[in-house]
Amino acid sequence: MTLQQEIQRRRTFAIISHPDAGKTTLTEKLLLFGGAIHVAGAVKSNKIKKTATSDWMEIERQRGISVATSVMGFDYGNYKINILDTPGHQDFAEDTYRTLTAVDSVIVVVDIAKGVEAQTRKLMEVCRMRHTPVMIFVNKLDREGKDPFEILDELEEELKVAVRPLSWPIDMGERFKGVYNLYRNSLDLYQPSKQKVTESVHLDIQSPDLKKHIGEKLAEKLQSDVELISEVYPAFDCAEYLAGRLAPVFFGSALNNFGIKELLDCFVEIAPSPRAIQAEEREVNPYEESFSGFVFKIHANMDPNHRSCIAFVKVCSGRFERNVNYKHVRFNRMMKFSSPTAFMAQKKELLDEAYAGDIVGLPDNGNFKIGDTLTSGEELHFKGLPSFSPEMFKYIENADPMKAKQLQRGVEQLMDEGVAQLFVNQFNGRKIIGTVGQLQFEVIQYRLLHEYGAQCRWEPVNLYKACWIESDDLAQLEDFKRRKYQYMAKDKEGRDVFLAESNYLLMMAQQDFKNIRFHFSSEF
């Protein structure tokens, strides 16, 4: 296969959902279709159980699972599929945001009964910001839920994206009969089965045979629904989907393996292959001969005695090869990798080559930071690995005076890994850790102790938000920093950050300093 063909056949995407909507179940069924696993139940959920938030063995175990399921690659027909797993627990949302920078498209799973939930809404904001093409799977049709038309309105309104159903459910719950596939004009009759693949019948929506399969009443209802859909929703426009403005919607039941094959078949056909990525210097085309890639995730190993990590590299262009010298741009140094790993469904494998769209795992002992670029030699920096304004803050203090160095090193490395964000208050020099959830403070404390032998103590700090500030009006910027000197901090790149104590104070600052831009993500 040529380089061009290899890259074109790749589909790299993430499945996102609010916990419990069915992401793990859907992932597993997709693997089943790809022949990557043979029995249901093989994929372990990597979500941290709500009841186990301070059960450390559990978290450590889960971290192990999440390495194994971080990226699941498999062939499906002529396509090479890479599913990037995202942690379901909201305290790890930052991890998910970064994973979204490494995918070319996204499948969103929504529970028919619950509709759009908080986590879905938040993750969708990131997709919108990046114009990521999104496909939606409405799950659990084997249960009672909201009216499908109502769900479509809700999706459109809450996710702020135009929608177009490509399949349509025939009743639901115990009366669920199946779906009509509007993309291929076929009727798929529901047979609950956790393992088997449903057969579908090609039937025009006007066919008189329709009622033989689902009865007269449901056939009429389906026909009138489909008519209504074609009146309300314009025909599916793939270009709009690829631009991230239109989300095709499918209905089914992941648990019962229903509606998944239709989703997958349509997905591989229309979802984008790797696309051009903007670097600071220029746009990088995936089909370029020379290799380039960036680190979007670093996973610390579970073995505390060997502080080794895996750096996850998204290949942006060309081909990556084992034992070939590549430039680590930040170090301005050539490096080669003798044991890169590929992620194939359940296992890691030694990798000889990978193509644009693939994810390569590089064993690392401290060489990489999130956002680092590797190239065949060119000086490139990939943009677009945003940090988001954290939502929880604590002062971090050293609890063991003998281990100050270890603490500093540990904190630095954990921040490079992207576990949380560090801000240094310019007024009192104290270090503030910002996270998106309480659990991260516990993770940091635990890992500092077990991996670095350092002890930290948390002290409360009353903060509402940290936001990055900039302005073309340097006089006003200086004035602002002078007046707010107690609330000014630097992030780890040395950028100015304003620490707002309350929403009110933030709004006042925005009002009083009109020439200053307040950013809630570090990418601006």
Q: Which residues bind ligand GDP (CB under 6 A)?
A: 17, 19-25, 45, 47, 88, 139-140, 142-143, 253-256
99 known member of a binding site: no
Return d(Cα 475, Cα 250) in angstroms, integer.
54
Return d(Cα 372, Cα 385) in angstroms, integer.
10
CA distances to 47, 83, 264, 340, 343 from 36, rounded to whole Å, are 21, 12, 14, 21, 12
439 known member of a binding site: no
Nearest to ligand GDP of 74, 137 (CB atom): 137
Nearest to ligand GDP of 140, 484 (CB atom): 140
What's the min distance (Å) between Cβ of 220 and ligand GDP? 27
34 known member of a binding site: no
23 known member of a binding site: yes
237 known member of a binding site: no
Nearest to ligand GDP of 1, 42 (CB atom): 42
What's the min distance (Å) between Cβ of 21 and ligand GDP? 5
* Residue partners of 517: CB distance under 8 A and separation at least 6: 469, 470, 471, 524
18 known member of a binding site: yes
Residue matched to tokens 């403005």: 245
What's the min distance (Å) between Cβ of 259 and ligand GDP? 9
Q: Between helices 404-416 and 438-452, what is the axis angle to 10°?
A: 130
Return d(Cα 247, Cα 166) in angstroms, integer.
10
Buried b (16+ CB within 10 A) or exposed e, 211-250: eebbeeebbeebbebbeebeeebeebeeebbbebebbbbb
Nearest to ligand GDP of 103, 456 (CB atom): 103
Task: For CA atoms 306, 307, 312, 317, give the dihedral sign.
Answer: negative
22 known member of a binding site: yes
What's the min distance (Å) between Cβ of 301 and ligand GDP? 24
User: Identity (one letter) of the amino acid at 96?
Assistant: T
Instruction: Identify any residues that bridge with 8 across adjacent strands, giving them in sequence order.
Output: none
What's the min distance (Å) between Cβ of 442 and ligand GDP? 21
Nearest to ligand GDP of 111, 496 (CB atom): 111
Nearest to ligand GDP of 189, 505 (CB atom): 189
Return d(Cα 175, Cα 363) in angstroms, integer.
51
What's the min distance (Å) between Cβ of 142 and ligand GDP? 5
- DSSP codes joined into one string, 215-232: -HHHHHHHHHHHHHHHHH
What's the min distance (Å) between Cβ of 50 and ligand GDP? 11
Nearest to ligand GDP of 21, 488 (CB atom): 21
19 known member of a binding site: yes
Q: What is the CA 113 to chain-centroid distance, rounded?
A: 23
Return d(Cα 471, Cα 391) in angstroms, integer.
24
Return d(Cα 178, Cα 141) in angstroms, integer.
9
Instruction: Identify any residues that bridge with 201 across adjacent strands, giving them in sequence order.
Output: 187
24 known member of a binding site: yes
What's the min distance (Å) between Cβ of 251 and ligand GDP? 10
140 known member of a binding site: yes
Nearest to ligand GDP of 112, 467 (CB atom): 112
User: Which positions make up the binding site for GTP?
Assistant: 17-24, 85-89, 139-142
User: Which positions make up the binding site?
Assistant: 17-24, 85-89, 139-142
